[in-house]
A and B are shown apart, each in its own frame.
Chain A
Amino acid sequence: MRALRIAFALMLVGALVLLSGPQQPARAQPQTIKIGILFDQTGPFSAAGSLNGWRGTKMIIDYVNERGGVMGKYKIVRVDGDSQSKAEVAINEAERLLNVEKVDILAGVYSSAHAVPLAEKMEKQKKFFWITIAISDAVFKDRNLQYVFRPQPNSGLFGAVSVQYIAAYSQEKLKKAPKDLRVAIIYEDGPYGAGVAASNDAEAKKLGMQVVLKEGYSVSAPDLSSLVTKLRAARADVLFHTGYNPDIALFLRQAKEQGLRVKAYVGHGAGHSQLDKLKEAFGNEIEAFHTVDPVAAQLLDPKTLKPGVGALTAEMVKRYKAEFEPNMAVAAIAPHVSMGFSNLWILLNDVLPRAIQKHGGFGPDALAKAARETDIPEGGTMMGYGVKFYGEGQPMRGQNERAFVAVFQVVGGKFEIVYPKSVATAPPILPLPASSPWAAR
């Protein structure tokens, strides 16, 4: 009986050895790199910039693959995930991409509400995560992440630059010193809106402005009339707003109907940067509206960039018009297309080749080491900024410290850069023109 038991045990062990397959002491490096691309193909975030981010991402992968892949030999296999504009779906999709599709890298992500929990999850699993659009500081702040990187500017920059812009023109254009300026801050209450608003608030107080109202709202709220009433009661000169869409459209419509009048209206990316959508809802009434974002690649003078980078922008524009929006004016192509295209290009063109050549492959550790060594000077990417990630011991470890944003304004129906002054393409229109239904009379 005992011999039978031993024989059975040996057979079991043998079966397990057979099932586990032949051992490969040095498996050959596969010639494809699988990248999971996570955006919101459906749901309200889709039209607020997420779909445009995916388009940019798809185009750069197609472009690289047509040239033989990374370093001319590693083809990219794109595996799409749809977050459906819901954080729990984003997490499930990330799990599917990692554990079912077995992707080597997870990239993309539009919403900060998705990026914040995903970053923690990816870090725990030691998977490489490359965020191309979501901006919230909360993704990195004091988390000491080692496998998560973001070339995109962070929310702290967005909120600070918009306030600095208003302060810079306060006396000259609004006829008030910054300390006499009454500013209101409203925001969608997720990490994206809350992050930008916190930065608005801190910068406004630093510059001595009077913050007369700071209030959040749910992006799916069916009514914002009470917020409009409070804003009227607060008598703000300048309104800083961070939202997606359609909450922006709902707010603006109710603000118009309920007589909210301000001297300047400053949005911060997302829905405020989707010029075509805003025009469809409000036509020319959005003249002199602002948004803050990284500069859309096609708006930059290629001469200010490193050699060859401008050609990449031309490629992006050509592909976008051929594949998605043939009738769209070049200047109106949303910055999210550039974010998807350019920020993934940094991964494909800079990080991946170094990971493979110097660190022995494209596993999470090799990629993280390569990303930490990224050192692209200003003008070295399509969106103008350089790339160097904050390192160990720094509170925003993994965030690109060289990223920058600009303030845009709708001038003559298209976006012009109005701040920083050094890169401005047009003088700002301040205060809002009398033709605007939201202009202070």
Chain B
Amino acid sequence: MIDPIFIAEAALNGILLGGVMALLALGLNLIFGVLDIVWIAYVELVMLCMYLVYFLVTGYGWPIWLGGLASVAFGAVLGVAVHLLIISPLLNSAAINQFLATGGLLFFLQSFATFLWTTDHRTVRLNLPIIEVAGMFLSFARLIAFVVAILAMIGLYLFLRHTFIGTAIRAVSQDRDAMRLMGANPQRVYVVTSAVGGAMAGLAGALLIIQYSVHPYFGAAFGPLTFMICVLGGLGNMVGAVVAAVIMSEIISVGGVMMSTEMGYVIAFVLFIVMMFARPGGILAKRE
């Protein structure tokens, strides 16, 4: 029988992992909610932002926080670029075309990163303190990521609730055609949404580079889980994404300690499949 202190530690680690996963899912969900398009290559944008922070910090000696800010700005620019160059021409195309285009972008970004920076794993080496509370160890890097992720979520909530453009974004996400009929220009809303979604990717990149090595195939580890969280939470549902992220992370973490690391993931994925039958609209969706 495993000591309860280790289960408690796993539960805390699960919450911290949930914060990081929620941050990834939120940006993707925001874009889907407004544009009705899933950016398959979203985690690849995160990967590019991680490379930026890596080069700024290790190559140019920037402090990590400044590299993080640059990453947020870079993410926003990438988001706008992806929208204008790839999404915008396909907005009225069949869903499969949009899917294939963003899927193509994923392979392009992986290959381009390999071409530019090879397949080497690159790490920003930081000497972070070790946190021990009542016999439980917590990752300082993950704690920072969690706190910043929570602040970002609150910021996103306030932005969507209390700014004019935020209100417009919500309006478009509720009824894209009605917005157009009222004479508003959805294109501006799309661009701003893509910039905000991209900035979230930049923020995630800045927070992940202090925990993980970056390489061109970074998306393979996080991409599938992020999409599952988005779907489990209900595509476009912000609160659902956060709840789903925490549930999945807790199952992975606590299940991993109580059974085995592999079983933690197996249970999380089984839950996902079951929920797709029980609540295909997401865990917070109203039953029809």
Contacts and interface: CB of A to CB of B under 8 A. Distances in A.
A47 B121 contact: yes
Interface stretch (A16-24, A217-225, A297-305, A374-382): A217-225
Contacts of B198: none
Contact of A281 (B125, B142, B217, B265): B125
A217 B263 CA distance: 9
Interface in B113-164: 114, 118-123, 125, 128, 130, 132, 137-142
A117 interface: no
A51 to B, nearest CB: 7
Interface in A241-265: 245-246, 249-250, 253-254, 256-259
A249 B262 CA distance: 18
A229 B10 CA distance: 7
B200 to A, nearest CB: 18
Nearest to A276: B120
B254 interface: yes
Contacts of B215: 44, 47, 246
Contact of B221 (A189, A216, A220): A220
Given A47-B119, A257-B130, A259-B137, A226 B261 contact: yes
Nearest to B141: A257
B118 to A, nearest CB: 7
B167 interface: no
A222 B25 CA distance: 15
B75 interface: no
Contacts of A258: 9, 13, 137-139
B250 to A, nearest CB: 11
A42 B13 contact: no
B264 A42 contact: no
Contacts of A225: 10, 13, 17, 139, 253, 256
A224 B114 contact: no
Contact of B123 (A229, A256, A281): A281
B225 interface: yes
B261 A217 contact: yes
B178 to A, nearest CB: 39
Contact of B6 (A47, A230, A281): A230
Nearest to A258: B137
Interface residues of A, number: 40
B69 interface: no
Interface in B177-231: 211-213, 215-217, 220-222, 225
Contacts, number: 128
A220 B220 contact: yes
B128 A42 contact: no
A311 interface: no
Given A46-B119, A225-B13, A230-B256, A250 B212 contact: yes
A319 interface: no
Q: Majority SS of interface residues in chain B? A: helix
B252 interface: yes
A218 B139 contact: no
B3 interface: yes
A280 interface: yes
A188 to B, nearest CB: 11
Q: Which interface class (under 10, 10 to 19, 20 to 34, 35 or more) fits B?
A: 35 or more
B257 interface: yes
Most buried by B among A85, A245, A249, A253: A253
Interface in B238-260: 249, 252-257, 260
B253 A281 contact: no
Contacts of A51: 119
Contact of B216 (A42, A216, A281): A42
B132 A259 contact: yes
B221 A233 contact: no
A8 interface: no
Nearest to B226: A222
A283 interface: yes
A189 B110 CA distance: 25
A215 B212 CA distance: 22
Given A47-B121, A277-B121, A227 B139 contact: no
A44 B119 contact: yes
Contact of B213 (A42, A46, A218, A250): A250
B220 A227 contact: no
A257 B119 contact: no
B260 A222 contact: no
A232 interface: yes
Interface string B49-71: 00000000000000000000000
Contacts of B122: 280
B2 interface: yes
A43 B111 CA distance: 10
A246 B212 contact: yes
Contacts of A220: 220-221
A249 B119 contact: no
Contacts of A245: 121, 213
A85 B13 contact: no
Given A47-B121, A221-B265, A230-B256, 6 more contacts: A42-B114, A223-B17, A226-B264, A227-B256, A259-B130, A259-B132
29 contacts: A42-B217, A43-B217, A44-B217, A46-B118, A47-B119, A51-B119, A189-B262, A215-B262, A217-B262, A220-B221, A222-B222, A223-B252, A223-B253, A224-B261, A225-B10, A225-B256, A226-B255, A227-B256, A229-B10, A229-B256, A246-B121, A246-B212, A249-B213, A257-B142, A258-B139, A259-B137, A280-B121, A281-B213, A282-B125
